[in-house]
């Protein structure tokens, strides 16, 4: 799959990107931010055009995506990791506070990949709601 070609056909017009960014700024300010403290380490596991990660306030912001052009959209305070979400753990030296996932699971090939992505995510969190991690 040619990721650059795929992304090049999606939302690339500047006016559409501006509108999408504005929507995400509002969503983050009025909804998501209440779940993310200013001193958090936040990962966007499939950052795309970085709308969420650029809009959320956090101490450390990390964007994962397989699209090599993601760095063109990330703010300068966002650490960009151009790799698969399945490799998140090898790129994260410390556990993180929040992992954000939007519009990613429907792109995975099997339910086993969805489960694996959730397990990897849970293993990267400082704490989880499921009793300290997933094996």
How far is residue 125's CA from residue 103's CA, in Å, rounded to a whole number?
20
Mean of pLDDT over the chain: 87
125: helix, strand or coil: strand
Q: Is the pLDDT of residue 10 over 90?
A: no
Query: Mean of the pLDDT values across residues 66-83?
Result: 93
Pairing, β 98-100 against β 78-82: unpaired
More confident residue, 5 or 131: 5
Q: How confident is the model at residue 9 (pLDDT cuts 50, 70, 90)?
A: low
Query: Mean of the pLDDT values across residues 11-31?
Result: 88
How far is residue 121's CA from residue 85's CA, in Å, rounded to a whole number?
9
Q: In what order do the strands lie in the sheet with 78-82?
A: 78-82, 60-65, 41-44, 98-100
Tokens read off for 77 = 């305070």
Query: Mean of the pLDDT values across residues 109-129?
Result: 89
Give 31-62 pLDDT, tens digit per residue. Answer: 999 999 999 999 999 999 999 999 999 999 99
More confident residue, 95 or 10: 95
Fold held by 3-124:
Rossmann fold (3.40.50)
The region that residue 11 occupies, defined by phi over 0 for left and psi between -120 and 50 for alpha, beta otherwise, is: left
| Angle made by CA atoms 95, 133, 123, in degrees to the nearest 5 | 40
10 Å CB burial of residue 101 (0-12, 13-18, 19+) is middle
Q: How confident is the model at residue 130 (pLDDT cuts 50, 70, 90)?
A: very low
Residues 6 or more apart whose Cβ sits within 8 Å of residue 63: 43, 44, 47, 50, 53, 70, 74, 78, 79, 80, 81
The pTM assigned to this predicted structure is 0.83
More confident residue, 41 or 6: 41
């Amino acid at each position: 799959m040619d990721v650059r070609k795929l992304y090049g056909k999606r939302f690339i017009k500047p006016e559409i990107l501006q509108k999408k960014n504005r929507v995400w700024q509002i969503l983050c300010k009025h909804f998501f931010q209440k779940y993310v403290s200013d001193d958090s380490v936040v990962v966007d596991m499939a950052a795309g055009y970085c709308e969420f990660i650029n809009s959320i306030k956090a101490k450390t912001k990390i964007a994962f995506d397989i699209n090599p052009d993601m760095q063109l959209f990330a703010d300068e305070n966002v650490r960009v990791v151009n790799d698969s979400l399945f490799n998140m753990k090898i790129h994260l030296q410390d556990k993180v506070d929040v992992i954000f996932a939007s519009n990613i699971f429907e792109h995975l090939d099997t339910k086993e990949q969805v489960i694996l992505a959730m397990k990897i995510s849970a293993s990267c969190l400082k704490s989880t709601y499921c009793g300290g991690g997933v094996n």
